[in-house]
Amino acid sequence: MDVIYPRCAGLDVHAETIVACALWEEDGPIQKDIQTFSTFSKGLGDLLEWLEEHGVTHVAMESTGVYWKPVFAFLEGYVDLTLANPQRIKNVPGRKTDVSDAEWIAKLLRHGLVEKSFVPPADIRELRDFTRLRKKWVGQLSSEKNRIQKVLESSNVKLGSVLSDLFGVSGKDILARLLEKGCVDKDELDQCLRGRLKKKKQAVYDSLLGTLTEHELRLLRLLWKHVEELERFIEEVDQHIDRLLEPYREEVELLMTMPGVKKQTAAVIIAEMGTDMSVFETPERGASWTGLSPGSHESAGKRKSTRTTKGNPHLRSALCEAAWSA
Convert the chain into a string of H (helix), E (strand) and C (coil).
CCCCCCCEEEEEECCCEEEEEEEEECCCCEEEEEEEEECCHHHHHHHHHHHHHCCCCEEEEECCCCCHHHHHHHHECCEEEEEECHHHHHHCCCCHHHCCHHHHHHHHHHCCCCCCCCCCCHHHHHHHHHHHHHHHHHHHHHHHHHHHHHHHHHCCCCHHHHCCCCCCHHHHHHHHHHHHHCCCCHHHHHHHCCHHHHHHHHHHHHHCCCCCCHHHHHHHHHHHHHHHHHHHHHHHHHHHHHHHCHHHHHHHHHHCCCCCCCHHHHHHHHHHHCCCHHHHCCHHHHHHHHCCCCCCCEECCEECCCCCCCCCHHHHHHHHHHHHHC
Across the chain, mean pLDDT equals 89
Q: Which amino acid is at 177?
A: R
Q: What's residue 182's pLDDT?
A: 80
User: Quick check: 1 pLDDT over 80?
Assistant: no
How far the first Cα of the chain sits from its last, in Å, is 51
User: Quick check: 184 pLDDT over 90?
Assistant: no
Cα–Cα distance measured from residue 101 to residue 118, given in angstroms and rounded to the nearest whole number: 22
Write the pLDDT tens digit of every residue in 237-252. 999 999 999 999 999 9
Phi, psi (degrees; rounded to nearest 5) at 319: -70, -35
Cα dihedral 193→196→200→204 (10° resolution): -40
Write the pLDDT tens digit of every residue in 244-299. 999 999 999 999 999 999 999 999 999 999 999 998 888 888 888 888 887 776 66
Greatest Cα pair distance, the chain, in angstroms, is 94
Cα–Cα distance measured from residue 324 to residue 10, given in angstroms and rounded to the nearest whole number: 44
Question: Of 94-108, 110-124, 304-318, which gets the smallest average pLDDT?
Answer: 94-108
Radius of gyration of the chain (CA): 28
**Residue 76 and residue 54 in contact, taking contact as beta carbons nearer than 8 Å:** no
**80, 101, 93: which is closest to 10 by C-alpha?**
101
Q: What's residue 93's pLDDT?
A: 63
On the CB side of 167, how many CA atoms lie within 13 Å of its CA?
A: 14
Q: Apex CA 77: angle with CA 288 and CA 247, to 5°? A: 65
If you average pLDDT over each of 9-13, 60-64, 305-309, which comes out highest? 9-13
Percent pLDDT > 90 in the chain is 56
